Amino acid sequence: MRIVFFGTPDFAVPSLEALLAEGAQVVGVVTQPDKAQRRSRSTLVPSPIKQLADRHALPVLQPERPTGDVFLAALRHWHPEIGIVVAYGHLLKPEVLGLPSRGMLNVHASLLPRLRGAAPINWAILEGDAETGISIMQMEAGLDSGPVLRRAATPIGADENAGELRARLAGLGAETLVETLALMRLGRLTPAPQDPALATYAPKIDRKVTRIDWRETAAAVARRIRAFDPAPGAWARLDDREVKFFGARVSEGEGRPGEVLATQKELRIATGHAAVAIAEVQPAGRSRMRAEAWSRGRGAQQGQLFE
């Protein structure tokens, strides 16, 4: 099959690597434009997918948006039979979805119809799900609403953060994608329509969601911190200074919600029930560091109150 691959971040890399390792005929790659980085904004850095495509001498398209006659003409030139979408970052319009003769597949990081949307990995941890997984979905115009061709489940570790879970799901997604394409070639796939009544959603992450409410239970606060570790980081304020938290676990202790109970070895903070122990922090304008080292300097002291 002639495959066109849509993807941008490192999450998509294992899927493209797996296709190439299997000898799949990848005729082209679509990814986002190179991003300006560093303070001068003068250095353009290609996406991880573009870097991989360049190493394999694959043709690449980098439209600002995947629309318009020029973009569609370039896709048609590749004569794709099937499209594979892995964390591309743009919604595709019907004229793009309908261009490959065998349609478009999406590698989605949840067990659909649960957690449709942009941030399923973060929300799975935040909501305390015991398991998540990968769904290979036939794409249609709705938001992650197409029939599912194959699912693969995996448990979420008790103290697993979003970065760790993301890495595991990237590998699981690659394996499941290869299996799905093999079954497709054999004609052994049966699309399973999603039940819209069971759908839940995982919207983009904003600052309101990442802010810690210390009145929640220790388990809920720890999940919020793990859900946004390593990025963008769950945060709170101490004397009008913003601080992000990483490496959280439930601990013993009682106090006012947000009260610093201890600073030695780790930072321990009271919640609405019990406490959380914090391994690392990132004060505004500084690098991530051990919580104990921060407290020994000008960081939090016992008895202070995070808001």
208 pLDDT above the threshold of 80? yes
What is the H or E stretch that residue 176 is in?
Answer: helix 162-185
Domain with 98 in it: what CATH number?
A: 3.40.50.170
Residues 149 and 222 in one domain: no
pLDDT of amino acid 244: 98
Residues 125 and 265 in one domain: no
How many domains does the chain divide into? 2
Examine residue 230 and say whether the peptide bond preceding it is cis (omega within 30 degrees of 0). yes
R_g over Cα of the chain: 22
179 pLDDT above the threshold of 70? yes
Residues 138 and 261 in one domain: no
Answer yes or no: is 92 within a domain: yes
pLDDT of amino acid 259: 98
Question: 10 Å Cβ neighbour count for 231?
Answer: 11
Picking from 198, 232, 262, the residue at the C-terminal end of a domain is: 198
> What is the Cα–Cα distance from 134 to 150, expressed in whole angstroms?
8
> What is the Cα–Cα distance from 275 to 177, expressed in whole angstroms?
41
Residues 138 and 10 in one domain: yes
pLDDT of amino acid 40: 59
The mean per-residue pLDDT over the stretch 197-208 comes to 97
Picking from 178, 198, 218, the residue at the C-terminal end of a domain is: 198
140 pLDDT above the threshold of 70? yes
Whether 250 and 261 have beta carbons less than 8 Å apart is answered as: no
Closest CA to 110 of 127, 89, 132, 128: 132
Residues 137 and 234 in one domain: no
Residues 7 and 147 in one domain: yes
The mean per-residue pLDDT over the stretch 283-304 comes to 93
Q: Which residues of 169-207 are buried (b: 16+ CB within 10 A; e: fewer)?
A: bbebbbebbbebbeebeeeebeeeebeeeebeebeebee
Answer yes or no: is 305 within a domain: no
- Residues 12-33 have pLDDT tens digits of 999 999 999 999 999 999 999 9
Residues 251 and 152 in one domain: no
Residues 42 and 174 in one domain: yes
Whether 138 and 191 have beta carbons less than 8 Å apart is answered as: yes
pLDDT of amino acid 297: 87
pLDDT of amino acid 36: 85
The mean per-residue pLDDT over the stretch 55-82 comes to 97
Domain with 291 in it: what CATH number?
A: 3.10.25.10
**Least confident among 126-135, 174-183, 275-284, 292-301:** 292-301
Picking from 198, 225, 251, the residue at the C-terminal end of a domain is: 198
pLDDT of amino acid 265: 85
pLDDT of amino acid 38: 64
Answer yes or no: is 301 within a domain: no
Mean pLDDT, the chain, as a whole number? 96
Answer yes or no: is 302 within a domain: no
- pLDDT band for position 293 (50/70/90)? very high
41 pLDDT above the threshold of 70? no
Answer yes or no: is 307 within a domain: no
Whether 132 and 109 have beta carbons less than 8 Å apart is answered as: yes
| Residue range(s) defining the domain that contains residue 271 | 207-296
> What is the Cα–Cα distance from 31 to 10, expressed in whole angstroms?
12
Answer yes or no: is 88 within a domain: yes
42 pLDDT above the threshold of 80? no
Residues 47 and 76 in one domain: yes
